[in-house]
Chain A
């Protein structure tokens, strides 16, 4: 009997450790910027309904530019050293190609059916990460001297905010080769980059993960989204950290809520991504008194679209 308080304290400590695990870890990937791809001739051009459109050709850039490989490899190494290994763009691209080939060939032994893939699936299956590290460098020539201006931006894929940065121009040199200058630039700037990234993570742990909620409607849905948006705002106000969110757009058919600060863990201490957090909203809207059947679509850790009017 006398040991009960000690046992209770131990149980509390153990349960805290067990139940409050680790938050969902965002994925990071280095990608050369559109500006760099354009300057170095790694763009694909196509006619988009009469408008000439350029998109970066990452595969060609990775196959031909060894400086890019060096910079990405150095960055990957430095981040892995900080227990934050990055997704490797080249490997992701190869993996996607392999998966596409395999899925096209797969058939069911029982029925002969092939793997289902909707047009949306095809669009979704691209190289992506929760935070894109957008990389740009330019080589500056001043007489015989060469220097490198380096710019690394950490961009949140869902909020579109720049969450980390490191920029700078290295010391000009007469004789040092470009790869060495690039390697130096990466090593000199990594500290600034990880510092700003750490600040972003600290903010996330203190104030919750910043996510996006999009409300869409099927074209056969006849409801009043403007009225319903007030109910959604009430739900957000009750469930976000300190009621933090911004209503950006509301129309009859579309609503956008940005800067939604969701908790990292649910009441049972399980780590949550945006889809876990908004599942309750989806259920609330489906149930009386709203009776709005809906479909929930997820993009990574931080974006959810709820489409009203059916699954």
Chain B
């Protein structure tokens, strides 16, 4: 087999790099869109977190394990702000979302686009709670095609993270995103 001339090699490598980068960015964009559309699940993971913190398990959906794992941190913070979660009996109390006012689309975009950016401020309030990037469960989701064959669709990955909910609340109050208890007095 004849090797490609050097400039062509470089061009191929560059094209491959561009393709991979674009593909990665696309997956990340899809994951961000899922977060924005609340396509994730959040549940309490025991009442053992220390005061001011919440220990949660976030289920993220993605075709790429690494994207799902990274996105879990964003989803956890998003969930604490907008979704809350139901408790599981006495050991795990329900949590209400921090957001306590109506928010317009413009207001959301103005603040949360940067907040949930890849190296955005959200990172300050969340950490993986266990080893291996917090992964606790990996489930392969399949779906039936027309020919009745099951085909891999995407991963559902459960990641345990700890969210500094008190600090997050104070930060959002300071930024005037949520109403503080004393607002107006």
Contact = CB atoms under 8 A, between A and B. Distances in A.
Interface of A: 22-26, 81-84, 147, 168-172, 184, 187-188, 191-192, 194-195, 197-198, 201-202, 205
A221 B100 CA distance: 51
A84 B90 contact: no
Q: Interface residues of B toward A: which range?
A: 10 to 19
A169 B182 CA distance: 28
A194 B179 CA distance: 12
Contact of A191 (B96, B179, B180, B184): B96
B184 to A, nearest CB: 5
B interface majority secondary structure: loop
Given A188-B47, A198-B179, A25 B185 contact: yes
B124 interface: no
Interface in B131-185: 166, 179-182, 184-185
Contact of A82 (B51, B89, B96, B182): B182
A201 B181 contact: yes
B66 interface: no
B116 to A, nearest CB: 23
A171 B46 CA distance: 11
A201 B184 contact: yes
Interface of B: 47, 51, 89-91, 93, 95-96, 100, 166, 179-182, 184-185
A24 B100 CA distance: 22
Given A168-B93, A171-B91, A192-B96, A83 B184 contact: no
Contacts of A197: 181
A174 to B, nearest CB: 14
A210 to B, nearest CB: 16
A24 B93 CA distance: 34
Nearest to A205: B184
Which 6 pairs across A and B sit closest by C-beta, in order of nearness? Answer: A83-B182, A25-B185, A171-B90, A171-B91, A82-B181, A84-B181
B63 to A, nearest CB: 36
A22 B96 contact: no
Contacts of A172: 90
Contact of B90 (A23, A147, A194, A195): A147
A147 B93 CA distance: 15
Contact of A198 (B51, B91, B95, B100): B100
Contacts of B90: 147, 168-172
B180 A171 contact: no
A262 B91 CA distance: 43
A187 B54 CA distance: 12
